[in-house]
Amino acid sequence: MVQLGQSWAELYMKEHPDITIQVTAGGSGTGIAALIEGTTQICQASRAMKDTEKESLKTKRNLDAVETPVALDALAVYVNKENAVKSLTMEQVAKIFLGEVTDWKDVGGTPGNIVLYGRENSSGTYVYFKEHVLANKDFPTKYQALPGTGAVVNAVAKDKGGVGYGGIGYATDIKTIPITKDAGGMPIEPTMANVLSGAYPISRQLFWYTAGPAESAVKAFQDWVLSPEGQKVVSEKGFYPLKGE
């Protein structure tokens, strides 16, 4: 998401040479902590702010957090190109990543070990996947945590038994699996139309947070981000704009 913020900032600064925007990376928690401390005016987050975080903003700075969705993101389940599995149900995906299903033949593939790849526990993507797909249960100890979604994609591309998850924008050289919400339902591809309609089950909003309602320059930047021009950047970076294209 930091790349999205950087592109926004660069483009906006080009159009408004009198304005300087500094983008710092570090993960959702880092950004929220900076907002609480008052060292940033806008914080981007790929997860919603926790109640405890909202409370500490209130006690520290006596301000309410204002949440603005700025883009949509779908988490795709990646498998190797040679994988024979056509689609998976949400339940199967959960069982795979909980280590309860360990062979591809049990989910309609050719026999072979399932090897799990994903992000570190400091990543918003990890937390989102854990909460919304695994119902907050823990990943097994054989889960290989890699330092970025690019590394996950690379690992799955080279490992026939590999399975991983991550933003749809990163998916190159691998297969994304259509997901069925409930058993017997239709498998849904992670496409923009399906994400917008809410049919694809693993999608999330990306947020901007400000301490109190955005004002003056910050407000102008935020309005621009939500304008068609700002939303165009969203699709360029591999995410989905709020209202489609």
CA distance 98 to 174: 22
Size of the chain, expressed as the number of residues it contains: 245
User: Which pair of tokens denotes residue 25?
Assistant: 């990376």
163 scored as a contact of another protein (CB under 8 A): no
126 scored as a contact of another protein (CB under 8 A): yes
Binder of another protein out of 3, 6, 144, 191 (CB under 8 A): 144
Q: How many residues bind another protein (CB under 8 A)?
A: 31
Q: Where are the strands (E) in the chain, listed by range? A: 42-45, 65-79, 88-89, 115-119, 144-146, 162-167, 175-176, 179-180, 187-188, 203-211
Q: Which one-letter DSSP state was computed for residue 92?
A: H
Residue range at the interface with another protein (CB under 8 A); choices 28-36, 61-69, 74-82, 177-185: 28-36
CA distance 27 to 245: 28
Closest approach of another protein to the CB of residue 6, in Å: 18
145 scored as a contact of another protein (CB under 8 A): yes
User: Which pair of tokens denotes residue 137?
Assistant: 């249960």
Residues pairing with 167 in the sheet: 75
Binder of another protein out of 122, 182, 186, 229 (CB under 8 A): 122
Name residues whose C-beta falls within 8 Å of residue 7's C-beta, 6 or more positions apart in sequence.
Answer: 233, 236, 237
Mask for 66-85, x = binds another protein (CB under 8 A): --------------------
38 scored as a contact of another protein (CB under 8 A): no
166 scored as a contact of another protein (CB under 8 A): no
Q: Indicate the residue among 148 and 244 with the shorter CB distance to another protein.
A: 148
Per-residue CA distances from 157 to 50, 59, 237 (Å): 35, 47, 21
11 scored as a contact of another protein (CB under 8 A): no
Q: Indicate the residue among 26 and 185 with the shorter CB distance to another protein.
A: 26
CA distance 79 to 165: 9
Q: Which stretches of the chain bind another protein, using CB under 8 A?
A: 26-30, 33, 113, 115, 120-123, 126-127, 130, 136, 138, 141-147, 151, 154-155, 158-159, 161-162
